[in-house]
Amino acid sequence: MVKIKSEDSLINKKIILGVTGGISAYKACEMVRLLIKEGAKVTVAMTKNAEKFVSKMTFQYLSGNKVLSNMYDENESEISHINIADSADLILICPATANFISKYSNGIADNLLLNILLATKSRVIICPAMNVNMYENPVIQKNINKLQEYGVEFVEPDSGELACGWEGKGRLAEPEKIFNFIKKKDQNKDLAEENILITCGATREHLDPIRFISNPSSGKMGLALAKVLEARGAKTKIICGHMEEKFASNFNTVKCESVEDMEREVFKDLNKFTVIIKAAAVGDYKFKKFEKNKVKKNGSRIYFEMEETNDILARLGQEKKPNQILIGFSAETENIINNAMKKIKNKNLDLIVANDISFPDSGFGKNNNFTYMVSKNKSVEDLGLISKPNLSIKIGDYIKRIRMELS
């Protein structure tokens, strides 16, 4: 049974529940029941393919309202999709097929539901449901990420046995999970007491004025973290190395080049931060000697001596205050969990976000990570392939949980 807090009430909120043509369309019936029980005014909009799975009469009976499906209703005096889009407090698409998501992300409006979405300025939540291979297809992930960049929210599908017989991520999230997602996001500023320091991007260690060693980190993870955590009320400061992504001017950012630069900036005002998230991909080695002039070819082999850089995360663990939360990131190709467990212990972390960068279409410069969340108590959560915005939401949830444990 879903418990509702009075301050999270959906009473009298106008919700459009969009149903597309997938086998899990029947679960939308339970979604209608949960929303109406909370006091929401629900109107169902269906695609023609959705009607092959659940009848319009079923949704009309459950919602108590006329079901919308016809783009050109002769009985309507107003332009229906504009009127509907303007009046909605929330549009929830449950389930959303790969076809529907792809059309929406590319601005195609060939049915009533898509027209409503393209005309609305209201909050939009999408609940994907499809075969695991379709969900993990780079084309679908690119379309999901594009919509997320525009502010569309996604409820990640569940993993398990799918209707097609496959096992994996793609099963529509249970109605209770979707309902709690709606309510949780309405609570909003749940991290308002946190002051969070985020490092991101790639450091560069120079050989000479022209050449350096670095890594392919784009800074996408740091950008996603800053957006999500600030949306939940947290104050953030971002210390960034080289980045492909750009932060908006309203973010408090400091740019740096080398590991030494980043270390200096991190420890400037460390005590004022309640949470430190070290997502930067810092270099492990630097050239022992910086050459003032460009090193030129001379027709023979050349050798450069290197030395380890300072371990910023280890130092943070040593100097961490009792009330501070320290979160690290790791990029691994083997022994992902074992290596994460060692880092948790050796560097005094509360949480480590362990990423398997050998997994296709994930890691540096990509929109997704293949992630395991490893906690100080040695619990492991396998998130599989997850978008960086959704991973940021997960990290925000962990921060809230750890804070409660520390209180």
Strands 253-255 and 235-240: parallel
Contact 372, 382 (CB under 8 A): yes
Residue 181 lies in a domain: yes
Q: Is the pLDDT of residue 363 over 50?
A: yes
Q: Is the pLDDT of residue 5 over 70?
A: no
Number of domains in the chain: 2
DSSP letter (8 states) at residue 67? P
Q: Residue 19 half-sphere exposure, CB side, CA atoms within 13 Å?
A: 30
Give pTM, 2 decimals. 0.61
Instruction: Give the pLDDT confidence of 238-251 residue by residue, as tens digits.
Output: 999 999 877 777 78
Do residues 52 and 120 share a domain?
Answer: yes
- Residue ending a domain, among 187, 213, 231, is 187
pLDDT in tens, 106-133: 999 999 999 999 998 888 999 999 999 9
pLDDT digits (tens, 9 = 90+) for 289-303: 999 999 998 888 989
Q: What is the pLDDT of residue 2?
A: 35
Does a structural domain hold residue 60?
A: yes
More confident residue, 72 or 225: 225
Cα–chain center distance at 170: 16
Indicate the pLDDT class of residue 50, thresholds 50, 70 and 90: very high
Same-domain pairing of 314 and 169: no
DSSP for 73-122, written as a single string? -TT-SS-HHHHHHHH-SEEEEEEE-HHHHHHHHTT---SHHHHHHHH--S
To the query of whether residue 240 is one of the catalytic residues in this protein, the response is no
Q: How many CB atoms lie within 10 A of CB 9?
A: 14
Of 29, 94, 127, 164, the catalytic one is 164
Q: Convert the pLDDT of each residue in 178-192 to its tens digit.
A: 998 887 655 567 899
176 and 233: one domain?
A: no
For the cut 80, the answer to whether the pLDDT of residue 80 exceeds it is: no
Helix, coil or strand: residue 294: coil
92-110 pLDDT per residue, tens: 999 999 999 999 999 999 9
Q: What distance in Å separates the CA atoms of residue 145 and residue 151, rounded to the nearest whole number?
A: 10
Residues 210 and 299 in one domain: yes
pLDDT tens-place string over residues 148-162 = 878 899 999 988 876
Which neighbouring-strand residues pair with 330? 354
Containing structural domain, residue 142 = 6-187
Check whether 1 has a pLDDT greater than 50: no
- Domain end point (choices 160, 187, 214): 187
Residues 71 and 119 in one domain: yes
Are 210 and 63 within one domain? Answer: no
Highest mean pLDDT among 77-91, 147-161, 207-221, 361-375: 207-221
> 400 and 272: one domain?
yes
Give 365's pLDDT tier (boundaries 50, 70, 90): confident
What is the Cα–Cα distance from 17 to 46, expressed in whole angstroms?
8
At residue 133, the 3 state secondary structure works out as helix
Any idea what the CATH number is for the domain that residue 265 is in? 3.40.50.10300
Domain containing residue 168: CATH number: 3.40.50.1950
**Taking a C-beta distance cutoff of 8 angstroms, is the pair 323, 338 a contact?**
no
216 & 332 share domain: yes
What is the reported pLDDT for 361?
77
Shared domain check, 201 and 116: no
Given a contact cutoff of 8 angstroms between Cβ atoms, the answer to whether 16 and 116 are in contact is yes
In a domain, 1, yes or no: no
Amino acid at 9: S
